[in-house]
Amino acid sequence: MPYVYRYENGVFAQSEKPVVREQPLTITVNGVELATFLCTPMKLDYLVIGFLCFEGIISGLDDIRALDVDADNGAVAVELGTALVQPKKRVFTSGCGMGLTFSIGTSHYPPLLSDLSLAPEEVFPLMRQLFDGADMYRASRGIHAAALSDGERILLLAEDVGRHNALDKILGEALTLGIPTQGRILLTTGRISSEMLRKGAHMGTPFLISRTSPTTLSIEAAKRLGVTVIGYVRRNSFNVYTHPERLLHQPSAARVEAEAVAVSGD
C-alpha cells in the first residue's frame, strides 16, 4: 500500500492509502491480437468473456474452447471452436480505462417488454447494497462498481477502473455461473453513457440505475428500448429520465386524506 501525504488543517501527515490498480490487458483470439485496453486486474476471465459476448465475438460459453489468463503479464488467450471474424471498425468510447467497442448502434436490439416495476423507496436500499459490497470503492473512491440485482438483493458485483469493464465482468460472471440477466436490475457508480445503455440492453435489464448522470444518447436509446434510466441516486432522492411508468408510486395515507378533503371542499 503506497504512502501519501495528506494536507489537513494546515498540516501535512504521512499515511498509507489504498490506490486502485490499473494495467493494460491484451486479448488474443485464435492467435490474433483482438484488443488491448486498461482495466483493474481482477476477474479477468469474466471481463474477457463479457467483452467478447457484448461485441458479438461469441454468443455464449459454448463458443469458447479454451481460455488462458496470464494476470502477471496482462494477457488473455482465447481459443474459439470456430474461426474468428475480425471486426471491421473500432470505436473508442467515452468510458474511463480507455473504453473500446466494435459497434455503437442499438437499432438491432428490440424494445424490452418487461413488467418489472419498483416502488421509489426500493431504489435506495439497492444502491446501499452496491456500496456496501464494493470494498475497493469504499477504500479508495478511485474505482467503479456495478451490480446485478433481482430487486431485493445483489446477485453479482464487480469493480474496475472502467465502468464499462465492470459491466463486462458482470455479464461474464453471469454466463459462467448460469445466472440469467434478463428482467434484472443493473446498478452502477458511473455515468450512463450510450455504451453503458447498450450493454444493459444486451443483458435485457429494464432498469439501469446510477449515482450519477446519463448522457443524451443514452436517454434517446433508452426511450426506444424501453429501459428505465434512473440517475443521481442520493439518500432520499433520484432523477427518472425515461419510462417512469415502471416506478409504482403509492401516496401516503395523509396525502390521500388531504387530497380528498381538498376535493370535497371541507
Write the CATH number for 133.
3.40.140.10
Q: What angle do CA 134, 171, 108 make, to 5 degrees?
A: 130
Which is catalytic among the residues 49, 52, 69, 96? 96
CB atoms closer than 10 angstroms to residue 4: 12
Run of H or E residues at 219: helix 216-225
Residue 149 lies in a domain: yes
Question: Rounded CA gap, 184 and 116, in Å?
Answer: 8
- Which CATH number does the domain housing residue 60 bear? 3.10.20.10
157, 208: one domain? yes
Same domain? For 141 and 232 the reply is yes
Question: Does some domain include residue 263?
Answer: no
Q: Is residue 262 part of a domain?
A: no
80: enclosing H helix or E strand: strand 75-80
Q: Which domain holds residue 189?
A: 120-246
What is the spatial distance between Cα 147 and Cα 153, in angstroms, rounded to a whole number?
A: 10
Number of domains, the chain: 2
- 88 with 138, same domain: the answer is no
Question: Do residue 82 and residue 140 come from a single domain?
Answer: no
Check whether residue 135 and residue 82 sit in a common domain.
no
pTM for this model (two decimals): 0.84
The answer to whether the CB of 169 falls within 8 A of the CB of 195 is no
pLDDT tens string, the chain, 266 residues long: the values are 677 888 888 998 988 888 888 999 999 999 999 999 899 999 999 999 999 999 999 999 999 999 999 999 999 999 999 998 877 655 445 455 445 555 556 677 888 889 999 999 999 999 999 999 999 988 888 899 999 999 999 999 999 999 999 999 999 999 999 999 999 999 999 999 999 999 999 999 999 999 999 999 999 999 999 999 999 999 999 999 999 999 986 555 544 454 444 545 54
Q: Same domain, yes or no, for 152 and 227?
A: yes
To the query of whether residue 39 is one of the catalytic residues in this protein, the response is no
Is 62 a member of any domain? yes
Among 101, 134, 161, give the residue marking a domain's end.
101
CA nearest neighbour of 86 among 126, 28, 165? 28
Tell me the C-alpha distance between 210 and 238, whole Å.
9
CA distances to 189, 213, 227 from 166, in Å: 10, 17, 19
Of 101, 129, 149, the position where a domain reaches its end is 101
